[in-house]
């Protein structure tokens, strides 16, 4: 049968582990002990960014909103570049124009019913790109209503964070949920965060992670096959440092 | 128009279909394999180190737009479709989930096969909660041992024995049943985080050992003469295919064994929709071929070798066997659906470590079995069962592997700093929890939703129960002791299952039951050769046969059962067709 792809502890899928740790956190007193990154990975050689790729799905205004939203998730600061530099918006634009955004491999047969309890996952009759279009329009209306006709991109960072927090807590009405287990702005925000994480950490062939910004940030070397499978020389010699400039699939 | 008749037809060509095809064709039988997905092999993964494609989008999994499952948490609820791959990811394509598995290859404990009788013997029948329908397998560990051995030597499993013919062996699992001999290849190299887990476990009085793995620790030639190279520790493990052929998968082992006999014909993009039968005998199968034409393949023996769900669904669609009715407890097809009660876990993070999490092999783990099954006294604990506690190699890849402790925002400057701090400096300890059977957890056909061919989807009725909640909480407490012992700069642990079973987030592809084995046709669908009681020329091979799911990864036992079914067919049934038990 299957195996457990990436068994329980090995690679629990991102959302699962986050949920698990958050759940476990409810049982354990105490919080994060801030330690700071003590051994930063080597700085990537910053590639000179090429011309911005053309947009495939987003309008200019949608693209600007998504780019600004992603930048608040992974902001450029003194410690390093941010989501804008990494091309995350362009990744998401391609993602929504591609199979995933169009609902490929998504079971879209009715009847469509809102769940009455948790655990049923995505139940909307919409492919993800339609969810984005609707949510981004709502975000724009929300910003203009609450901030004197100001678009998200023109808000100061603190106000942008307030908008994202409102989305994250499910407070912005997307008109898609009737009850507690429905698709709220929190559901959209979780989808958006997953896409940002993908745009930061997927292989650069997908349009994000430009200049290996995401991989360099966490110290992930990319595809070992691109270096001729060097790991076997390090396995068992765990004291040896392994720092390389990441490479994607060749 | 029917195609020419063959000796046997396999519905699904993954591990079980591949094993049966190899064994039957080597014995001179003609076998046709019908695989719903396309052809696949290591060459398809030459550019396959793409986390988005395989780990996020799960390209190797079944396409849920064509066929999925529905889920309800109890019989009073309306089931809703699982609209995209989530909690589990059965594969489609040649090699099946045997291509995308992560490679942890366990034997079940002797107690697991006799769970009901041993529980009653030790604690009395009153400890089994109302509605829990655990039952014995109709086979013992010792009867299955030779078949475990055959699978491990065919696949080249890397591990360390803990019990050879009754003699305890230092360094292995002291709780395992006696095995005829050691593993064919030595364990994988233990990584730094695994050593930290080993030390903590030893300090607490447990007995840690290397988890048995399907990635070769060195070049290996198996008994069929097939040679494969050792693992490169590339870190692209479960959900990925292996470009090096180092991970045991059917496309580099049993399928080539079958093909070279000249008696195995593999047909891909062939979706079986019905088993044809006449009286107490199956006559063949009906399937849609790659061009969408309906075909009939007659066969003397029909082997259902698809994933758990498909095995059960095809019997229900074909009106074979009596469907299980939870109201009366009568019937057997669909009975005792189980899963895996994960949910206990711990995180330990170290300022001054670099675990190089991306250097990882399929199945590599350090485990303790002290808290699994009935390896510890349950008197007064208020639950049955336990789980394998282990350190795997998480997190390995960054999209799915970056993690932050609770209390950290999921975005923003603080999150940005935290993912850098925690990615390579953290280890996660997890538990593979037992999933007992309940009278009203079962599989049947959904009354509302259908697949691309207009046939009803399979409906799953399942949720977490108080027994598993207590068990997971117990395991979480034990894991907390383990991570507390590690001297980490930050630790967090606990055990909790969500309010309801969640179909959306990946847990494991350890779905079991529905066509369960046993000693009595009134309470089981197949005998201990996986042969249907009602149709002696039909064998239903897979985790569909598990009466409940123990606290180990299932593939080792699935494949051992496949070798046993093959043994029954080749050495007994062929000369004397009829019930083997």
* CA atoms within a 13 Å half-sphere pointing along the CA-CB vector of B94: 20
User: Residue A140 domain-assigned?
Assistant: yes
Query: pLDDT of B261-284, one tens digit each?
Result: 999 999 999 999 999 999 999 999
What is the CA angle A30-A31-A32, rounded to 5? 140
pLDDT, position B451: 98
Nearest to A214 among B85, B398, B554 (CB): B398
pLDDT, position A6: 36
pLDDT, position A143: 97
The full set of domains in chain B, from first to last, is 6-573 (3.50.50.60)
Residue A106, token pair as written in the block: 């998504």
Nearest to B506 among A12, A232, A235 (CB): A12
Greatest CA span in chain A, whole angstroms? 61
pLDDT at A40 over 70: no
pLDDT, position B393: 66
Q: Count up the domains in chain A and report the number.
A: 1
Residues facing B532 on adjacent strands: B526
Query: Would you place residue B394 in the very low, low, confident or very high pLDDT band (cuts 50, 70, 90)?
Result: low
Residue A217 to residue B416, Cβ atoms within 8 A: yes
DSSP class of residue A94 equals H
Nearest to A104 among B65, B80, B390 (CB): B65
Query: Would you place residue B396 in the very low, low, confident or very high pLDDT band (cuts 50, 70, 90)?
Result: confident
pLDDT, position A12: 32
Q: What is the domain range of residue A182?
A: 55-223
pLDDT at A83 over 60: yes
What's the mean per-residue pLDDT of chain B?
Answer: 97
Neighbours of B291 (CB within 10 A): 7
Query: Would you place residue A51 in the very low, low, confident or very high pLDDT band (cuts 50, 70, 90)?
Result: confident
Residue A32 to residue B51, Cβ atoms within 8 A: no
**Which amino acids of B are annotated catalytic?**
510
pLDDT, position A180: 87
Q: What is the mean pLDDT of residues A173-198?
A: 96
Q: Could you give the CA distance from residue A199 to residue A214 in angstroms, rounded to a whole number?
A: 8
Backbone angle region of B152, left / alpha / beta, with phi > 0 → left and psi within -120 to 50 → alpha: alpha
User: Residue A194 domain-assigned?
Assistant: yes
User: Residue A27 domain-assigned?
Assistant: no
Residue B71 to residue A120, Cβ atoms within 8 A: yes
Task: Using an 8 Å CB-CB cutoff, list chain A residues near B352.
Answer: 38-39
Lowest mean pLDDT among A3-17, B414-428, B512-526: A3-17
User: Residue A203 domain-assigned?
Assistant: yes
Strands B294-304 and B6-11: parallel
pLDDT, position B76: 95
pLDDT, position B246: 97
Q: Is the model more confident about B522 or about B396?
A: B522
Q: Could you give the CA distance from residue B245 to residue B263 in angstroms, rounded to a whole number?
A: 24
On whether the CB atoms of residues B406 and A25 are closer than 8 A, the answer is yes
Task: Using an 8 Å CB-CB cutoff, list chain A residues near B502.
Answer: 118-119, 121
Please name the residue of chain A whose CA is at the shortest distance from the CA of residue B421. Answer: A37
Pick from A136, A123, A146: nearest CA to A174: A136
Query: pLDDT of A115-147, one tens digit each?
Result: 999 999 999 999 999 999 999 999 999 999 999
User: Residue A110 domain-assigned?
Assistant: yes
pLDDT at B513 over 60: yes
pLDDT at A11 over 50: no
pTM score, whole prediction = 0.94
pLDDT at B205 over 80: yes
- What is the strand order of the sheet B344-349 is part of? B209-210, B366-368, B387-391, B426-433, B344-349, B490-495
pLDDT, position B405: 86
How far apart are the CA of B104 and the nearest CA of chain A, in angstroms? 7
pLDDT, position B395: 66
Task: Using an 8 Å CB-CB cutoff, list chain A residues near B423.
Answer: 218-220
pLDDT at A8 over 70: no
- Ordered DSSP codes for B158-197: B---SEETTEE-TTS-TTSPPBSS--SBPPPPP-HHHHHH
Beta carbons within 8 Å of B558's beta carbon, 6+ residues apart: A1, B15, B16, B541, B542, B543
Q: What is the mean pLDDT of residues A88-108?
A: 98
pLDDT at A199 over 80: yes
pLDDT, position A48: 52
Q: Could you give the CA distance from residue B250 to residue B268 in angstroms, rounded to a whole number?
A: 15
User: Residue A11 domain-assigned?
Assistant: no
How far apart are the CA of A10 and the nearest CA of chain B, in angstroms? 4
pLDDT, position A34: 29
Strand, helix or coil at B472?
A: helix
Query: Tokens 């840690």 identify what position?
Result: B208
On whether the CB atoms of residues B433 and A48 are closer than 8 A, the answer is no
Query: Tokens 């970056």 identify what position?
Result: B402
Q: Could you give the CA distance from residue B388 to residue B342 in angstroms, rounded to a whole number?
A: 10
Query: Would you place residue A21 in the very low, low, confident or very high pLDDT band (cuts 50, 70, 90)?
Result: very low
Query: Would you place residue B200 in the very low, low, confident or very high pLDDT band (cuts 50, 70, 90)?
Result: very high
Query: Tokens 């799915």 identify what position?
Result: B400
Cα dist from B403 to A204, B195, B334, B471, B476, whole Å: 21, 21, 38, 25, 19
pLDDT at B13 over 70: yes
pLDDT, position B406: 82
Query: Would you place residue A161 in the very low, low, confident or very high pLDDT band (cuts 50, 70, 90)?
Result: very high
User: Residue A193 domain-assigned?
Assistant: yes
pLDDT at B484 over 80: yes
Query: pLDDT of B156-170, one tens digit each?
Result: 999 999 999 999 999
Q: What are phi and psi of A76, to 5 degrees?
A: -70, 135
On whether the CB atoms of residues B381 and B519 are closer than 8 A, the answer is no
Query: pLDDT of B209-256, one tens digit each?
Result: 999 999 999 999 999 999 999 999 999 999 999 999 999 999 999 999
Query: Tokens 């997908």 identify what position?
Result: A206
pLDDT at A38 over 60: no
């Amino acid at each position: 049968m299957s195996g457990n792809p990436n068994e329980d502890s090995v690679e629990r899928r991102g959302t699962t582990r986050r949920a698990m740790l958050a759940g476990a956190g409810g049982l354990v007193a105490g919080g994060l002990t801030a330690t700071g990154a003590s051994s930063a990975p080597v700085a990537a050689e910053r590639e000179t960014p090429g011309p911005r790729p053309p947009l495939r799905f987003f309008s200019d205004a949608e693209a600007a909103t998504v780019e600004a939203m992603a930048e608040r998730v992974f902001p450029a600061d003194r410690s390093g570049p941010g989501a804008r530099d990494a091309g995350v918006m362009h990744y998401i634009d391609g993602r929504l124009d591609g199979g995933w955004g169009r609902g490929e491999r998504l079971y879209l047969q009715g009847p469509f019913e809102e769940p009455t309890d948790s655990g049923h996952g995505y139940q909307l009759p919409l492919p993800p790109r339609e969810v984005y279009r609707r949510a981004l329009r709502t975000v724009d209306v929300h910003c203009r209503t609450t901030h004197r006709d100001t678009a998200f991109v023109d808000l100061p960072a603190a106000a942008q964070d307030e908008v994202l927090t409102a989305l994250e807590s499910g407070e912005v009405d997307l008109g898609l949920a009737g009850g507690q287990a429905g698709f709220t702005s929190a559901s959209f925000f979780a989808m958006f965060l997953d896409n940002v994480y993908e745009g930061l950490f997927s292989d650069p062939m997908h349009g994000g992670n430009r200049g290996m910004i995401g991989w360099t940030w966490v110290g992930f070397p990319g595809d070992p096959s691109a270096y001729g499978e060097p790991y076997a020389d390090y396995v068992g010699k765990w004291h040896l440092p392994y720092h390389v400039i990441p490479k994607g699939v060749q | 128009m029917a195609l020419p008749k063959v000796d046997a037809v396999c519905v699904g060509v993954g591990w079980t279909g591949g094993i049966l095809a190899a064994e039957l064709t080597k014995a001179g039988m003609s076998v046709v394999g019908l695989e719903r997905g396309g052809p696949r092999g290591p060459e398809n993964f030459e550019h396959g180190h793409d986390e988005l494609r395989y780990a996020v989008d799960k390209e190797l999994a079944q396409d849920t737009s064509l066929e999925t499952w529905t889920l309800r948490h109890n019989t009073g609820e309306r089931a809703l479709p699982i609209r995209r791959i989530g909690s589990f990811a059965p594969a489609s394509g040649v090699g099946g989930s045997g291509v995308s598995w992560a490679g942890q290859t366990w034997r079940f404990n002797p107690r697991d096969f006799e769970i009901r009788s041993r529980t009653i013997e030790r604690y009395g029948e009153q400890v089994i909660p109302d509605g829990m329908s655990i039952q014995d397998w109709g086979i013992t560990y010792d009867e299955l041992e030779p078949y475990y051995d055959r699978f491990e030597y065919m696949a080249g499993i890397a591990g360390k024995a803990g019990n050879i013919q009754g003699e305890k062996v230092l360094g292995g699992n002291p709780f395992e049943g006696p095995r005829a001999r050691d593993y064919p290849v030595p364990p994988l190299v233990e990584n730094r985080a695994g050593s930290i887990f080993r030390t903590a476990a030893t300090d607490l009085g447990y007995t840690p050992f290397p988890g048995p793995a399907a990635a070769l620790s060195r070049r290996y030639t198996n008994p069929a003469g097939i040679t494969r190279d050792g693992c490169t520790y590339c870190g692209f493990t479960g959900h990925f295919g292996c470009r090096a052929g180092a991970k045991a998968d059917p496309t580099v082992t049993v399928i080539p064994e079958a093909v070279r006999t000249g008696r195995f014909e593999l047909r891909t993009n062939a979706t079986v929709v019905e088993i044809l039968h006449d009286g107490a005998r199956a006559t063949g199968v009906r399937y849609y071929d790659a061009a969408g034409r309906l075909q009939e393949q007659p066969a003397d023996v029909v082997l259902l070798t698809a994933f758990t769900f498909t095995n059960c669904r095809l019997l229900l669609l074909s009106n074979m066997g009596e469907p299980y009715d939870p109201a009366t407890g009568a019937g057997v097809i669909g009975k005792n659906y189980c899963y895996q009660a994960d949910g206990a876990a711990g995180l330990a993070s170290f300022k001054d470590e670099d675990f190089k999490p991306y250097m990882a092999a399929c199945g590599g783990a350090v485990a303790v079995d002290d808290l699994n099954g009935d390896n510890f006294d349950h008197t007064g604990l208020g639950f049955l069962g336990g789980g394998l506690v282990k350190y795997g190699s998480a997190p390995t890849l960054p999209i799915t592997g970056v993690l932050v402790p609770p209390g950290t925002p999921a975005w923003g400057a603080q999150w940005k700093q935290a993912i850098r701090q925690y990615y390579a400096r953290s280890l996660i300890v997890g538990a593979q929890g037992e999933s007992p059977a309940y009278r009203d957890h079962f599989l049947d056909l959904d009354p509302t939703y259908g697949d691309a061919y207009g046939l009803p989807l399979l409906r799953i009725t399942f949720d977490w129960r108080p027994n598993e909640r207590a068990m997971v909480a117990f395991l979480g407490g034990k894991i907390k002791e383990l991570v507390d012992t590690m001297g980490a700069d930050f630790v967090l642990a606990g055990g909790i299952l969500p309010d309801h079973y969640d179909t959306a987030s990946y847990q494991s592809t350890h779905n079991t039951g529905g066509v369960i084995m046993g000693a009595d046709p009134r309470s089981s669908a197949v005998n201990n050769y996986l042969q249907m009681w009602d149709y002696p020329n039909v064998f239903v091979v897979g985790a569909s046969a598990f009466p409940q799911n123990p606290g180990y990864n299932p593939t080792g036992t699935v494949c051992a059962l496949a070798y046993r079914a093959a043994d029954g067919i080749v050495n007994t049934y062929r000369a004397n067709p009829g019930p083997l038990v």
